[in-house]
């Protein structure tokens, strides 16, 4: 595919596009399969509401991805802070004006549709941190000795605090998401941010300190809500009679469904899990996948998602700028972490924490955020613009690239 055609379509890596499209179509199949029985029993027609909603978002999500891919990576880099501010405002708006459903206040009504800003916070955090790590100045290896308190405050303490501000803003977003309440999404935002510390060249001392703070914060959030603590404490005894129909009901039913599927599954449409699980098209869609298509169908689904993550991390190693590397790595970490946690939750390794499976679970905001992230990754793969330069300019640029470090400006806080 010629560069001009790729640029016009916003697809610089067709493999990423086709993997995502296959995953989306698989998701549509399983959303319909997991939701139609409940839709019929509730007299909502043969098409489940979740399927109709997902279908409505598929085309806009792909179009938005193509538009994002056609933009220059510099535009995303320059607008990363503004997008982060918009995201924070959206999270504040949810707290004040959000719509409450099933005991959670996570959605905003925008005309005839509902959006979930927390899903876009995952992408916004990746862009914001990529823009910050790619542009921050190198921290000096040797710092002048401390002369007095004022000198230490001006030259060491205040600069270090400023370098910590991005994580403070990310922590604020996590707290707002947790308050909805949606600890699972907040955990994905925080974990993705930590994953970006490695390509962002953050020192190990800072990483250990941040992990300690995150551990204390996570513990406080779990203790804050009794049902969260109950799920964790009862998880190892989830098959006990007093727990199997109470706090561990979803995990037990999902684990039972996956085990019942065996190698080949019980057949599409013949599963039991979709009749009993409350989140059959979202957090626990893997129960239906495992039960009806068996081990082989589950491995195929995970292979598509795994290949998508691998491709993102592979391209991150080949990117021509630090910002592009960070974006590709961050999106790959987000997809990979969310997939692993969802699968471990569905098969009973982890207690239920409410995290959807990328591209497979229903959710319009999630689908749009995922495709938009892939579009920005396509933009990050755009070749550097050299065709407009005259030969002397191109020669000087080639000489500069030949001597440039592959990882520019390693900086340490």
d(CA 108, CA 116): 6
DSSP for 347-359? TTSS-----PPTT
Strand boundaries in 112-203, DSSP class E? 113-115
Instruction: Give SS3 for 101.
Output: strand
Find tokens 């914001």 and name the residue.
Answer: 128
Judge whether residue 142 has pLDDT over 90.
Answer: no
Helical residues (DSSP H) of 198-321, grouped into ranges: 204-224, 226-234, 241-244, 249-261, 273-276, 285-318
Judge whether residue 409 has pLDDT over 80.
Answer: no
| Whole-number pLDDT of residue 271 | 93
Name which of 360, 275, 362 is nearest 42 in CA terms: 275
For the chain, give the percent of residues with pLDDT over 90. 61
CA 197 to chain centre: 16
Q: Which tokens in the block code for residue 36?
A: 């139609």
d(CA 227, CA 353): 11
Q: Is the separation of the CB atoms in 24 and 304 below 8 Å?
A: no
Judge whether residue 235 has pLDDT over 80.
Answer: yes
Q: What is the pLDDT of residues 289-348, one digit of tens each?
A: 999 999 999 999 999 999 999 999 999 999 989 999 999 999 999 999 999 999 999 999
| Whole-number pLDDT of residue 313 | 97
C-alpha dihedral, 399 to 403 to 407 to 412, nearest 10°:
-120
Q: Considering Cα of 287, then 288, then 289, then 293, what sign does the dihedral take? A: positive
At 141, is the pLDDT very low, low, confident or very high (cuts 50, 70, 90)? low
| Whole-number pLDDT of residue 156 | 62
Judge whether residue 145 has pLDDT over 70.
Answer: no
Q: Cβ-count burial of 341 within 10 angstroms (0-12 exposed, 13-18 middle, 19+ buried)?
A: buried
Name which of 266, 256, 146, 126 is nearest 200 in CA terms: 126
Cα-trace Rg, the chain:
23
d(CA 394, CA 321): 18
Instruction: Give SS3 for 185.
Output: helix
| Whole-number pLDDT of residue 394 | 46
| Mean of per-residue pLDDT scores for the chain | 86
Instruction: Give SS3 for 179.
Output: coil
Q: Is the separation of the CB atoms in 107 and 98 below 8 Å?
A: yes
């Amino acid at each position: 595919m010629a560069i001009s055609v790729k640029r016009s379509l916003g697809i610089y890596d067709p493999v990423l596009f086709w993997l995502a499209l296959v995953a989306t179509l698989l998701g549509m199949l399983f959303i319909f399969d997991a939701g139609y029985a409940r839709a019929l029993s509730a007299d909502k027609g043969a098409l489940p509401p979740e399927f109709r909603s997902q279908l409505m978002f598929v085309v806009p999500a792909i179009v938005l991805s193509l538009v994002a891919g056609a933009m220059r990576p510099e535009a995303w880099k320059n607008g990363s802070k503004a997008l982060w501010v918009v995201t924070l405002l959206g999270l504040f708006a949810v707290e004040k004006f959000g719509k409450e459903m099933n005991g959670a206040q996570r959605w905003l009504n925008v005309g005839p549709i509902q959006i979930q800003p927390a899903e876009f916070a995952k992408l916004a955090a990746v862009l914001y941190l990529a823009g910050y790590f790619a542009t921050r100045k190198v921290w000096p290896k040797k710092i002048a000795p401390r002369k007095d308190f004022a000198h230490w405050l001006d030259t060491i303490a205040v600069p270090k605090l400023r370098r910590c501000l991005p994580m403070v803003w990310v922590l604020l977003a996590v707290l707002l998401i947790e308050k909805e309440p949606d600890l699972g999404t907040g955990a994905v935002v925080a974990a993705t941010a930590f994953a970006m510390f490695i390509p962002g060249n953050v020192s190990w001392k800072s990483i250990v300190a941040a992990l300690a703070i995150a551990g204390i914060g996570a513990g406080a959030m779990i203790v804050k809500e009794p049902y969260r603590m109950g799920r964790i404490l009862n998880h190892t005894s989830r098959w006990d009679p007093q727990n199997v129909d109470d706090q561990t009901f979803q995990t037990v039913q999902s684990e039972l469904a996956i085990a019942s599927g065996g190698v080949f599954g019980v057949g599409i449409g013949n599963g039991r899990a979709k009749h009993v699980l409350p989140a059959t098209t979202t957090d626990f869609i893997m129960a239906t996948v495992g039960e009806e298509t068996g081990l082989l169908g589950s491995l195929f689904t995970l292979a598509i998602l795994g290949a998508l993550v691998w491709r993102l991390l592979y391209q991150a190693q080949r990117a021509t700028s630090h910002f592009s590397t960070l974006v590709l790595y961050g999106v790959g970490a987000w997809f990979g972490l969310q997939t692993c946690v969802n699968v471990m939750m569905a098969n009973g390794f982890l207690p239920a924490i409410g995290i959807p499976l990328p591209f497979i679970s229903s959710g319009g905001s999630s689908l749009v955020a995922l495709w938009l992230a892939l579009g920005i990754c396509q933009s990050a793969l755009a070749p550097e613009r050299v065709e407009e330069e005259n030969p002397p300019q191109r020669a000087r640029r080639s000489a500069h690239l030949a001597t440039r470090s592959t990882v520019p400006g390693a900086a340490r806080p």
